[in-house]
C-alpha cells in the first residue's frame, strides 16, 4: 500500500500545473481582431503554433446593446423611419410640387378674367403661402430623417431641397417686403422681372427634386409615384398651355 502511494505522488509531481497549462494554451491560441471582412462580416484571427485561423464574428454581436434581442423594437424603429419618409414625400409633393405651380398659373392667367381683380391675387397668395408652409414642414422632416440616420454627407436630393427652401424664402421676402408701389413704374418693372425669373427657376428645381426624391424609394413605390406625379404634372402643364393659348388668341384679336 505504501509503495502504491509513493508511485502516485511521484506521478502527480510530474504533471504540469493548471496555470501553466492555461498560459501555454493562451500562447498557442491568441485571438486578435482585425479589419478584414468576409461578406461584410468582421474576422477574428486565432494564432497557433501550427498556423493561423480566421473565424467570422456573428452578426448579432454587432447590434447596438439597446437593440439586441429586441426584434420588435427594431421593427418599430424601422417602421417609424419609413412612415416619416412617406409623410416627407407626400407633404413635399403637394406643397412644393402642386400648390406652388398652381399659384404661378393663377398669377399669370387669372388677372384677365372678368371678375374682381383682387380675387386672383388672394388665390395666388393663398396657394403660394400654403405651398411654402407645407414645403417647409417637408424640408424639416427631411432634416430629421437625415439626422436620425446619422448621415454626414448630404445627398443631391437634400442639397436641392435646401436650395429650394432658401430660394422660396427669398421669393417670399421679395414679394412681401420689397414689392414697390404702383407709382414706382421703373422699380416695379425690375421687380416683376426678378419675381418671374426666380419663380420659374423654383418650379424647375422643384420638379427635378421631386423626381430625385422618388428615385430614392424602392422600385415598386418609385414606379407608382412617378405615374401619380406625372399625371398631376401633366394636368398642370396642360392647363398652363391651354390658358396660354387663350391668352394669345385674345391678344391677337385685340391687336387686329
What pLDDT band is residue 205 in, cutting at 50, 70 and 90?
very high
Query: Average pLDDT for residues 6-18, to the nearest whole number?
Result: 45
Domains of the chain: 31-74 (no CATH), 85-251 (1.20.120.1770)
* Residue environment code for 147-167, b if the CB has 16+ CB neighbours within 10 A, otherwise e: eeeeeeeeeebbebbeebbeb
At 239 the pLDDT is 94
What mean pLDDT comes out for the span 118-131? 89
Tell me what the mean pLDDT of segment 150-175 comes to.
Answer: 91
Per residue in 21-56, pLDDT (tens digit) is: 444 444 444 445 454 544 555 555 555 555 555 555
pLDDT at 130: 95
pLDDT, tens digit (0-9, with 9 covering 90-100), for 100-113: 999 999 988 887 66
User: Averaged over 105-123, what is the pLDDT?
Assistant: 76
pTM of the model: 0.66
In this prediction, residue 98 carries a pLDDT of: 96
Q: What is the DSSP string of the chain?
A: -HHHHHHHHHHHHHSPPHHHHHHHHHHH-EEEEEEEEETTEEEEEEEETTEEEEEEPPGGGGS-GGGTT-HHHHHHHHHHHHHHHHHHHHHHHHIIIIIHHHHHHHHHHGGGSSS-HHHHHHHHHHHHHHHHHHHHHHHHHHHHHHHHTT--SPPHHHHHHHHHHHHHHHHHHHHHHSPPPTT-HHHHHHHHHHHHHHHHHHHHHHHHHHHHHHTTS-HHHHHHHHHHHHHHHHHHHHHHHHHHHHHHHHHHHHH-
108 HSE (CA, 13 A, CB side): 22
The pLDDT of residue 207 is 96
Amino acid at each position: 500500500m505504501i509503495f502504491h502511494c509513493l508511485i502516485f505522488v511521484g506521478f502527480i509531481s510530474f504533471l504540469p500545473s493548471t496555470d501553466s497549462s492555461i498560459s501555454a494554451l493562451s500562447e498557442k491560441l491568441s485571438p486578435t481582431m482585425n479589419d478584414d471582412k468576409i461578406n461584410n462580416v468582421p474576422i477574428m484571427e486565432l494564432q497557433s503554433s501550427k498556423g493561423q485561423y480566421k473565424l467570422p464574428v456573428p452578426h448579432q454581436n454587432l447590434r447596438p446593446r439597446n437593440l439586441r434581442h429586441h426584434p420588435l423594437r427594431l421593427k418599430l424603429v424601422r417602421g417609424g423611419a419609413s412612415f416619416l419618409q412617406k409623410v416627407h414625400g407626400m407633404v413635399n409633393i403637394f406643397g412644393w410640387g402642386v400648390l406652388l405651380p398652381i399659384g404661378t398659373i393663377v398669377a399669370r392667367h387669372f388677372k384677365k378674367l372678368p371678375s374682381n381683380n383682387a380675387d386672383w391675387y388672394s388665390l395666388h397668395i393663398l396657394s403660394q403661402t400654403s405651398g411654402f408652409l407645407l414645403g417647409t414642414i417637408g424640408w424639416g422632416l427631411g432634416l430629421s430623417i437625415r439626422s436620425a440616420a446619422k448621415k454626414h454627407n448630404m445627398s443631391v436630393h437634400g442639397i436641392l431641397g435646401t436650395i429650394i427652401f432658401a430660394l422660396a424664402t427669398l421669393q417670399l421676402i421679395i414679394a412681401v417686403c420689397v414689392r414697390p408701389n404702383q407709382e414706382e413704374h421703373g422699380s416695379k418693372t425690375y421687380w416683376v422681372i426678378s419675381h418671374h425669373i426666380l419663380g420659374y427657376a423654383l418650379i424647375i428645381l422643384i420638379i427635378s427634386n421631386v423626381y430625385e426624391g422618388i428615385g430614392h424609394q424602392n422600385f415598386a413605390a418609385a414606379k407608382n409615384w412617378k405615374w401619380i406625379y406625372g399625371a398631376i404634372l401633366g394636368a398642370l402643364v396642360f392647363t398652363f398651355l391651354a390658358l396660354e393659348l387663350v391668352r394669345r388668341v385674345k391678344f391677337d384679336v385685340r391687336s387686329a
